[in-house]
A = this chain, B = another copy of it.
């Protein structure tokens, strides 16, 4: 995956946007380093090497900056999905890559999952609308088209795309959102690279093939 900021760097006109980009890159890196979305505007500005007052100028406030960061990431992710959909491989192979892609993206950018939850559930309604618009809508639309490809190819059962989205995204999300509480309850460790790989393999089999053994699934 290319560095996430690339597309926005290219998308925006040059000039004063350079400062905005630097702030977004700094915010993403800082949250990744600290493994927390609880970073101050002061620290973000310092890491970006710009005056903290410029955050207000470019983004209004911290929620505005976080929203811009999520939108930057969403643009990249959705471009990857369009690319995947157009590949000359089977719908099943695309679905496996999509499942792995969701889990890898959450793992690579731990702040993304938490920011989405924060924006959807704790910030004001307007930020939630924005996140829905550039994350939930396009992702659902992608899955709708992939599911249709799979049904047309005779590979997939017919499933309701909204219900499928809910189950797949919910299951992927929960690895990152719930691991903390599971660590407490049952002593499982954090989400390491190995846990991530194991979960990808688990989800590919569960979503594509189901829990039943093949000879039972047919009967």
Contacts and interface: CB of A to CB of B under 8 A. Distances in A.
A88 interface: no
From DSSP, what is the main secondary structure of chain A's interface residues? Answer: helix
A202 interface: yes
B211 A181 contact: no
A155 B211 CA distance: 8
Contacts of A140: 182, 185-186
Given A198-B160, A202-B167, A150 B211 contact: yes
A169 to B, nearest CB: 6
A211 to B, nearest CB: 5
Contacts of A133: 185
A140 B182 CA distance: 10
Interface string A169-202: 1111111011111101110100000000011001
- How many copies of this chain sit in the oligomeric assembly? 2
B136 A212 contact: no
B212 A129 contact: no
Contacts of A95: 211
Interface centre among A159, A165, A167, A214, by most chain B C-beta atoms within 10 angstroms, is A167
B170 A178 contact: yes
Contact of A170 (B135, B162, B171, B184): B171
A20 B120 CA distance: 35
A136 B170 contact: no
Nearest to A183: B132
23 contacts: A120-B178, A120-B181, A131-B181, A135-B185, A140-B182, A154-B216, A156-B212, A157-B209, A157-B212, A159-B206, A162-B186, A163-B202, A164-B211, A166-B174, A166-B175, A166-B199, A170-B173, A170-B175, A206-B207, A208-B211, A214-B217, A214-B218, A217-B217
Interface of A: 92, 95, 120, 128-129, 131-133, 135-137, 140, 150, 154-157, 159-160, 162-175, 177-182, 184-186, 188, 198-199, 202-203, 205-218
